[in-house]
Each structure stands twice: as structure tokens, then as C-alpha cells.
Amino acid sequence: MAPANAAPRVLMRRLREIMARPGEPQARLDAIVTQIARIMVAEVCSLYLRRPDGSLELFATEGLNKEAVHNTHLAKGEGLVGLIADRAEIVNIHEAQDHPAFSYRPETGEEVYHSFLGTPILRGGRTLGVITVQNQARKVYSEEEIEALETTSMLVAELITSGELDDDVAAMADRTTSRHFSGVSISDGIALGHVVLHEPRVTIHEFLSDDLHNENVRLDQGLETLRSSIDKMLSKAELQRVGEHKEVLEAYRLFAHDQGWVNRLKQAIASGLTAEAAVERVQNDMRARMLPQKDRFWAERMKDLEDLGNRLLRILVGDTETAATSNLPDDAILVARTMGAAELLDYDPKKLRGLVLEESGASSHVAIVARALGIAAVGEAANIVNRVDTGDDIVIDAITGDVFVRPTQDVIDAYSDKVRFHAAKQKQYSELRNKDAVTLDGQDISLKINAGLLVDLPHLAQSGADGIGLYRTELQFMIAAKFPRMSEQREIYKAVLDAAGHRPVVFRTLDVGGDKILPYMRMSGEQNPALGWRAIRMTLDRPGLFRTQVRALLQASAGKVLRLMLPMVTDLSELTKAKRLIKLEEDFLEKHGHEGPERLEIGLMIEVPAIVYQLDEVLPLVDFVSIGSNDLMQFLFASDRTNQNVAARYDMLHCVFLRVLQKIITKSNAHNVPVTLCGEMAGKPLESMALLGLGLRSISMSPASIGPVKSMILSLDLQALETFMIETLATKSGSLREPLERYARDKKVNVEAFKLT
């Protein structure tokens, strides 16, 4: 093999020469694998490319049987090659056939080879394929050989993404027909427009440099420009209000100054790479390390660092033209595989109608910014990027999570009507803001909102709600980079109470664990986290954490009423332990002369079936209860509402669930304990109608649902509904959705809400 530092340079020069030659892509791939094998003194070099279905196809080889090219296919995850592609990790072993992932393919003739080195071909966060080298001698490949193959994979990625290789015929045909994609809503709204593909990647033309000083100077200048542009971008007026998005973007700014990132870039330059090639190398390394991580914090950090790297690349190559700065249509709907939060801010919000992402969910950083900007957005729309072209007609329903690419005229007409319907309904609902929620027979209903961040507080006045029925304190913890100090918590809680004024606020104590992970808190891996160490269980095991939050809440509510709610209580003993800790904090305030709340009310959330059978014991010990319908329903039926395979079984209007709610309401009334419901169920007019028929007089929901639910209440005769519910629950089985819909039609109760069927 060539000397250590020479191998990558010689290989890159030879590969550049091959790519510059005229000819068919296949001939160039054949020449590339031959050259790699020659420079690395390998008996085999093979190139596998990933197909649209996730399988891997042998595209070129030097050393294996030529007949295997285009005839050897590995299923997703199959063999050592599949392992490399799935994990985006290098495999370097001296005996391939002893590895448990080895898959023997007789048509290749590879059984005589022992040592194996494989590296993923990475581009833009995706694994495009795998390059492997093999030798008959048993050996572990050196760091220099690994570096040579990694550098080669960068160049091959350029060839693949240049569009010079044949595209999959089925995928190309698929781009001309109407397509429907199902995702999840990450920012409510409906939008019709034209596709704009978000392509932040740039092409690198120079990979190697002998002038290390010059490359370091270029890198420093690029970093300075990058940081200045971020400061300018984040100074936009619409982003200056306090809220979740502000904290996300401030963290993004800190990443741009991360010295560890800068040091890795300089180390890559020291190996002989240009500044832009160094950025590409560090990005590939980070992806390989971070992709196996399942933690949401690391996934979001990877997106932010990916975005920073892309911005720096554009600065270094002088390519400042992007989809965001080009001639954006007035009805642009962005489509991307994934996106950093700051990348969305590059686009003119006046022209941007919607956003569709393959990977990001409702809790992602880009979703938070989309909601702050009021952009309709759908996430988890699998494989959509490979099925659309810039300029395609597109409709997104970010209420249901549906996306229609190249829609038929019928779909366009239906959604045009839906947009008009939605606007008209919103106008009607806004006119109800100052109107009391009173039924036709004179029953007052209290409508409250669910909140969790300071940015939610203006919704109190905008929606005309009676108060905050659920303030999720954990959201502030989840977006923070470190555990909020007591003083920080106190200021946030005080701001919430001040904004609410005379309206009541119910603070739920820290409810983390399960799918709500604090990035700075060590959580052991659990096989079933929804049923594991979370909510009150965790805070009782960490009394310091619980007492710090309680102390902040007590101080923040000085002279006011503090309503404190405990999540996921499953046993009487948990309630008594929590109350004992709260009493210790009350005593602490009194002892040290701090003013406490005018009155402290302690409540609990009923969201675990076990507590329903302890109501006679727990109700005398609390001042109020709130039903968490989401968890109670999924625990009752063992049906995860986020799992599409069982989603059809998850019906809030099933008579069994309604009978459980009826039992809770009856018991609470018997003990004179106020009861409310604060889950998703409360925000749907038909479901909320059923809740009122069961005896509830207070429900809490998202701010956008206040108008539709109030409209339903104003058209409802509650006494007649209660009679209907008692009779129907006593005689029916299964879901009561159809009987309730029929009742609403017959009695002319307005349960239409936003959706147009």
C-alpha cells in the first residue's frame, strides 16, 4: 500500500480523473472499484447502492464474480453490508465469516476472502450505499486504510447524488401520478400550494489541499460569517417574544460557538483536507455516532449541527443561493427529509404556506418554530422526498396529517372548500369569545385551556377561556439545556399567575419519563417506559427535585390561590407521601418568613385504572381531581393511541370507557370534590357533548377547541342529553359514536367543529 498520508491523496486524484472521463456511469463505477482495490492493495473492492425499498444491490466489484453485479441483492439489514447501511457505522474485522451478521451469497465467490472493511456512503444524513474491501489474508485494516476508504465514500456520494446514475424506474413513474401520504400534524392548519424541495446541500469540488494555513484561515473566516448571519437571522421581530421557540433558537446559537465542533474541523484540515471537505468529514462522523441514538435530545442536536454544517459549506464554497433565497412562489410548501429549526427561518414567512417533513415529529425543534410562525406542518410523511418534484401541486391537511401530492381536481376542490369553511368557522368562533358557555336549559359550563409555556398565555384572552385547567410544568424542563434553577422556575410560575389574573390555574407537578425525556437527566433504558419510572413515581424517588419545584410554586403564588395537581397517582400511599413533602415546604416558608399562597389546593390526576377503585379513600384527602383521558383510555384498553396498528381500537366513546368516567364523576360529586377532564377528548365537540351528558361541568382543552366546543354547548339541552346518556349506557355495548352522532343530528346540536367530511 502507498505511504500512510499518501494513500488518500493518490486515491482521490485517481478517482477525480476517472470521474472526469466521458462515458457511462457503470463504466466509471467499475473503474472506481478497480482503482480502490489497486491503491489499497485489496483483492476485492465492491460497491453496493441502496434502492428505494431499502435493499442493497451490488453495482460494481473488482475481485468478486462479475455475474453477481446487479444480480446480488441484500434485504434491508441483511449481512455485514446491511449492518453497515442500517447503523451507518464502519465494520473492520479479520474474519468476516465468523461474524453473526455474515450472509453467504454463493454467486459472488467471496467465501475465499477473510478480512473485511466496509464503510457507509453518507450524504445529507442518508446512507446511499456501502463500499467494501476484502483480502484472503486475515488482517485488521489500519487507520490510514480506513481514512482512505472513508474519503473515497465522500467522492462516490457526489457521483450518486449528481443524478448521473440510473434512477429507479418505479420511483420515476411514481412522480407522475397522484399520491397520498399519511403523517402526523405538528402545526395545525390547511394549505394548498406548490412543492419547494428544501435542498441545503452543496457540491464540493476540491477535497485535498497542501496549504493547511490557508484552509484554517478560510475556516475561521467562514465561522465568523456563519455566526454573524445567525445573529442577524435570530433578531427577526416575530421571534423576539418569549416562548419555547426562543429557547430552541438560543441553543442553536450556542452550537455555532461550540469549541469541540471547531476543534474537530481543524483536525480534519490537519489531515490534508480542504476546509469544505473537513466540514463534510466531520458531519459524516457525527452522523455515524448519533444515528444509533434513540434519545430525542440527540436527534434534535444532530439536526441542528447538520444545519450549521450545511450553512458553513455554502459560505466556504461561495454558494449562497438556496431554495430559501431563490425565487420562492407565493404559495410555497416546503418538503424536506428533515430540517433544523433555524433553516425554516431562512424562508419568507409571507410566501410560505406549509411544511412537510419525513422525519420530524410534533416535539421537534422545527415543529416548535413552525407553530410560532403559524405555518401548517405535517411530519413523519415517510418517503415523500423521493416522490415529489419542485413545482408539483400539493395539499396538506395539518389537522388530520394527510398530504396529497399532484392531487386530483376533486381533492383540490374539496380542500378549497375546506379552507373557506375553516376560515368562516374561525370567524364565528371568535365572535363567541366573550359569550358565556351556557346550555339552552341554563346550565353553566366552565371551559378552560391546557398550556405549558409562556407563549400559550395570550390564548387565555384570545379564546375567552375561564382559566387554565392544566399547566404542564414539564415542558419548560424539556426545552431547557439544563435543570432550571428554583429562581427560574419561580419567575415562570409567577408570570403564569400574573397573566391569568383572576382566572384559576392548575399546575401539574413534573410529569416526565415515558416519552417525555429530560436531555440532561440520566434515565435508565426501560422496555416499556409508559408503564415505568415516570411522573409521581420518579419525583417521589427524587424528593429534592419535587421539593424544589413545590417551593418555587409556593413562593410564586404568594398571596394567591395555588392549585397543585399530582400526575399518575396509582396508590393512596403515593398521595400521602406527596402531601407530606408539600407540608415540609409549607413549614419551610413559614419558618423563614416567606409569604405563601392565600390558599393551597391539592388535587390529583385520575389516569390509571387502579386509582378509580380507591376513590372513596383518596377523595377525602384532595381538594379537586382531574381526569387524564389520554392515559386512562390507553391503560384501560392496553391500546397505544400513537400506534397506527391499534389506533382504530382507540375510541374514546366506547361504552366501557364512558362507564368508567361516569363512576369517577358520580364518586366525586358524592364527596363534593370538583372534577374536570383535561385530555384530548375534551376538545372534540361530539366527545365533549358526551362528557357533559355524564355530568361534567368543567373541561379543559387546547385553545383552538374552545370555540367549537362553546358553539356545541350553546345549542345543547343538557337535561335531555343526561337522560339519553343514562338510558343508552345502561342498554348499549361497544362504541356509542353512532348513537351520539344521531342524537346530535336529531336535536340539532352543533358538533361539526373544523373537519369537513
Give the pLDDT score at 270.
85
Most confident range (mean pLDDT) of 227-236, 427-436, 624-633 is: 624-633
Comparing 494-503, 605-614, 747-756, the range with the smallest average pLDDT is 747-756
- Cell matching residue 158: 457526489
- Cell matching residue 119: 464503510
What does the alpha-carbon distance between residue 495 and residue 716 come to, in Å, rounded to a whole number?
Answer: 36
Comparing 44-48, 274-278, 344-348, 546-550, the range with the smallest average pLDDT is 344-348
CB 754 within 8 A of CB 708: yes
pLDDT interval class at 710 (50, 70, 90): very high
Comparing 151-160, 230-239, 358-367, 687-696, the range with the smallest average pLDDT is 230-239
Give the pLDDT score at 351.
86
pLDDT interval class at 427 (50, 70, 90): confident
pLDDT reading at 150 higher than 50: yes
Most confident range (mean pLDDT) of 22-26, 324-328, 409-413, 513-517 is: 409-413
Query: 179-200+323-423 adopts what CATH topology?
Result: Glucose Oxidase; domain 1 (3.50.30)
As a whole number, mean pLDDT of residues 651-660 equals 93
Residue type, position 222, single letter: G
What does the alpha-carbon distance between residue 406 and residue 473 come to, in Å, rounded to a whole number?
Answer: 42
CATH annotation of 6-164: 3.30.450.40
CATH superfamily of 212-317: PtsI, HPr-binding domain (1.10.274.10)
pLDDT interval class at 460 (50, 70, 90): confident
What does the alpha-carbon distance between residue 121 and residue 111 come to, in Å, rounded to a whole number?
Answer: 24
Give the pLDDT score at 63.
92
pLDDT reading at 613 higher than 80: yes
Those residues whose C-beta lies under 8 Å from the C-beta of residue 667, and which sit 6 or more positions away, are 615, 616, 619
Residue type, position 561, single letter: V
pLDDT single digits (tens) 86-122: 888 889 999 988 887 788 788 888 888 899 999 998 8
Those residues whose C-beta lies under 8 Å from the C-beta of residue 113, and which sit 6 or more positions away, are 43, 44, 63, 96, 134, 135, 136
Give the pLDDT score at 524.
57
| Average pLDDT taken over every residue of the chain | 81
> Which residue's entry shows cell 450518486?
160
Question: Which pTM was predicted?
Answer: 0.55
pLDDT reading at 473 higher than 50: yes
Residue type, position 218, single letter: R
Look at 78 and 171; give whichever has higher pLDDT: 78
pLDDT interval class at 2 (50, 70, 90): very low
pLDDT single digits (tens) 295-326: 555 555 566 666 677 778 878 877 655 555 56
Give the pLDDT score at 756.
34
pLDDT reading at 215 higher than 70: yes
Query: 467-626 adopts what CATH topology?
Result: TIM Barrel (3.20.20)
With vertex at residue 468, the alpha carbon angle to CA 736 and CA 483, rounded to the nearest 5 degrees, is 110
pLDDT single digits (tens) 349-369: 788 889 999 876 655 667 777
pLDDT reading at 3 higher than 60: no
Kindly state the percentage of the chain with pLDDT values over 90. 32
Question: β-pairing, 91-93 with 115-123?
Answer: antiparallel
Give the pLDDT score at 582.
95
Question: β-pairing, 402-405 with 179-182?
Answer: antiparallel
Give the pLDDT score at 174.
43
Give the pLDDT score at 757.
32
Q: Phi and psi of 195, rounded to 5°?
A: -70, 135
pLDDT reading at 175 higher than 50: no
pLDDT interval class at 347 (50, 70, 90): confident
pLDDT reading at 698 higher than 90: yes
Give the pLDDT score at 570.
93
pLDDT reading at 49 higher than 50: yes
> Which residue's entry shows cell 416548535?
368
With vertex at residue 366, the alpha carbon angle to CA 283 and CA 389, rounded to the nearest 5 degrees, is 80
Question: β-pairing, 468-472 with 446-451?
Answer: parallel
Strand stretches in 137-205, DSSP E: 179-182, 184-187, 190-197
Chain CA centroid to CA 6, Å: 44
Give the pLDDT score at 115.
93
- Cell matching residue 3: 505511504
- Say yes or no: do domains 6-164 and 212-317 share a fold: no
pLDDT single digits (tens) 375-390: 889 988 887 876 777 7
Active-site positions read 365, 678
Most confident range (mean pLDDT) of 18-32, 410-424, 456-470, 510-524 is: 456-470
Where do the H-state alpha helices sit in 480-623? Answer: 486-500, 535-541, 543-556, 572-591, 609-612, 615-618
Give the pLDDT score at 136.
92
Residue type, position 73, single letter: H
68, 185, 343, 418, 570 from 189: Cα distances, Å: 50, 9, 21, 11, 37
Query: In DSSP terms, which residues pair with 180 in a beta bridge?
Result: 404
Instruction: Kindly report the three-state secondary structure assignment for every residue of 5-62.
Output: CHHHHHHHHHHHHHHHCCCCHHHHHHHHHHHHHHHCCCCEEEEEEECCCCCEEEEEEE
CB atoms inside a 10 Å sphere around CB 564: 24
pLDDT single digits (tens) 544-564: 889 999 999 999 999 999 999
Give domain limits for the chain: 6-164, 179-200+323-423, 212-317, 467-626
Most confident range (mean pLDDT) of 149-163, 526-540, 553-567 is: 553-567
Give the pLDDT score at 76.
80
Instruction: Kindly report the three-state secondary structure assignment for every residue of 638-650.
Output: CCCCCCCCCHHHC
Those residues whose C-beta lies under 8 Å from the C-beta of residue 326, and which sit 6 or more positions away, are none
